[in-house]
Amino acid sequence: MLHFEYNMRYIFFLILLLMGSQALALSGKYPIRNFVPSEYKAGIQNIDFAQNRDMAIFVANNLGVLSFNGNTWERHDFKTGKKKRSLAFDENTDRLYVGSQGEFGFFEADWEYVSLIDKIPQGSRDFDEVWDVFLVNSKVYFCTFQGIYVYDGQSIDVIEQEGGFGRSFLAGGKIFTQSQQGRLLEIEGSKLIQDYPQGQTGTKIAGVIPHEGGYLLVYNSGQIELATPFGVSRKYDALSRALLGTYINHVLQLSDTRLVIATQTSGLFLYDLQEGDLETITREDGLESNACLRSFQDYSGNLWVGMQNGIALIHLNSPMRFLNQEINIQGSGYEVFETVDGTYFTTSNGIYFLGKDAAQGAFLPGTEGPAYGIKQIAGKLYAGHHTGLFLLEDGRAQRIASTDGLWQVKQLQLQPEFVIGGTYSGLYLFRIDENRRLKAVQKIRGFNASSRFFEEDRSGKIWVGQYYKGLYQLELSEDMSRVTVQNVSERFAPSFKEQIVLSRVDDGLYLATNSGLFQLDPADGSVSRSEIFSGAIGEQPIYLLAQDQKNNVHVVAENVMALFRQISPHNYIFIPSSLYQLRYYLNNDLLQASTNTNHGIFFSANEGFIHYDPALEGPLNMEKPLLVSRVFSVTHGRVLYVRKPFEAKPENMERLEVGLGAKVLKIDVESFQ
């Protein structure tokens, strides 16, 4: 039962998105999840969104209405022959209003549909598409090109004019519509009032955004005007030039005031009105299609995008960004190291350097082949490589030692004039010369196992965690030419002898193993389960343990990714890391965490790196517990409990009697909260 409760808590957190915004030291791509028609099993076109109080997402699809609770998609009003075009959820009445082709109404209770056609005056029932549904002052506005239908809960008034209308917009609590001639009109109650000032006529408007005491008018063409009661002026000409030829379908203002501009040919444009920063999100950045019809920001800050061929979910507030080919970093990532002059990257292809003010990284000649750990020693930077050790300086790389592959170097604590390198076949000795540069001395004899993970204890002994062979204690000879070796793991349990990753946290040595996380006592080589971290992680396989510059501890395990945020010395709070969403993107060959960065931590990925900023990770919000939507007795083949999709969530815990015979239960959880 404890296992079930933990998983429910963890599942909830995984889909909890994080509030806050912080500029990253290095640009990167937003995490994007695409949903294709074969996944949600409906039509290709998705043109509008809505969300209820429990954060379920509804989508207007060309073949029906879709709902998504964070786990599963469902279809409703499917293949009726009328394409769904617009949605709005009313929290006061628990109704989902829907606009279709020649039809509008609402869903309530258990997806029961109520048509409002019979409430329309007889002479106004001939209309085509309901492109927008708006809720304003307890009234529902169904917007078509023939008329705007205003429902007050009892009856429907119709706003009409000769020639009809274009698209309609909700901005700052007001509704605007455009005439077929391009004039912008304001709606008040059930009446059209005076034209709103605008500089261009005869041009379609794609968005109306409140701004500086007036409204930004964004046209399909990309032109932008600021319209106020005192006149009209052109605005944001640089943005207009970037939008030229893209054909704008929709404009949304985010909670942080940025604009999201959905285009027909060029994906999304994100524009910061205050800073003037422009970002683009296209197929190259992860979208399934560049034909973006509409965007929608949910309660957690996610951006949903309706596309011509699918749906995209963009994690705008995520603490994670992808970093790879957009800055010319090629290959599977390993290590990132920021300096005052720029950033060095090691990958499976070699070593790259991104200058401080550069937009693209440069490959460093002579470093072809896998490159590994980067370390600063005596003020100079060194990178391990398949061919040996490289000195990194002024955006260049120089090989200073040829070895049988070198993972990383570390300066000895008790003899700081010497440095140990872990190689494919044991350890290599270096000395710091009079110029404070490393000089190769010799291979250390007596130990020939690959030494990717090694640490020195306080007595000067070297510990090596060999991934497949176990844990070794090495004692250097007086002249440092050889070591005596003891395989400490020979006395461990069989499940403990393989998959050992040795790490240092708070100056203590830890072992990430196939059966959990353990702390090593170097005095006698004994190990004990870590009291600090094991409670939240359990006995599952651990693949990585790393501590960043803020003393946060990061754990990558089989079924959890954990952030342990330090609140006082040796005292941590456990936060399930949202990096779990991207676990399949992590480098599954040589997983590595890079902590020598100004902001956050970089994880090695199958392609490049994933930047993760713990400062943007939020604590578990217990004010929104998981909602159980359905309990099914597999034993009896019947439903024991079901929650209707539009009813208010229960305010208190409800007791459910399942009976002694119900041995197997299937519990469906609404986890998109």
In contact, 184 and 205? CB cutoff 8 Å: yes
In contact, 333 and 345? CB cutoff 8 Å: yes
- pLDDT value at residue 486: 94
Torsions phi, psi for 2 (to 5 deg)? -60, -40
d(CA 473, CA 475): 7
Most confidently modeled range among 69-78, 525-534, 585-594? 585-594
Band of pLDDT at residue 638, cut at 50, 70 and 90: confident
- Judging by DSSP bridges, how do beta strands 278-281 and 268-271 pair with one another? antiparallel
d(CA 255, CA 298): 10
Residue 623 forms part of a structural domain: yes
* pTM of the predicted model as reported, rounded to 2 decimal places: 0.78
The helix or strand, by DSSP H or E, that contains position 89, with its residue range, turns out to be strand 84-90
Residue 77 forms part of a structural domain: no
Residue type, 398: Q
pLDDT in tens, 420-444: 999 999 999 999 999 999 999 999 9
Which domain covers residue 666, as residue numbers? 1-16+619-673
pLDDT in tens, 179-227: 988 899 999 988 998 777 888 877 899 999 999 999 999 999 999 999 9
- pLDDT value at residue 499: 82
- pLDDT value at residue 56: 87
Residue 110 forms part of a structural domain: no
Of 19-33, 80-94, 632-646, the range with the lowest mean pLDDT is 19-33
DSSP 498-529: SS-EEEEETTEEEEEETTEEEEEETTTTEEEE
Residue 101 forms part of a structural domain: no
Residue 632 forms part of a structural domain: yes
Residue 595 forms part of a structural domain: no
- pLDDT value at residue 185: 93
Residue 602 forms part of a structural domain: no
Torsions phi, psi for 176 (to 5 deg)? -120, 155
In contact, 250 and 242? CB cutoff 8 Å: no
d(CA 293, CA 261): 10
Residue 137 forms part of a structural domain: no
Band of pLDDT at residue 491, cut at 50, 70 and 90: confident
Number of domains in the chain: 1
Torsions phi, psi for 158 (to 5 deg)? -120, 130
Residue type, 84: K
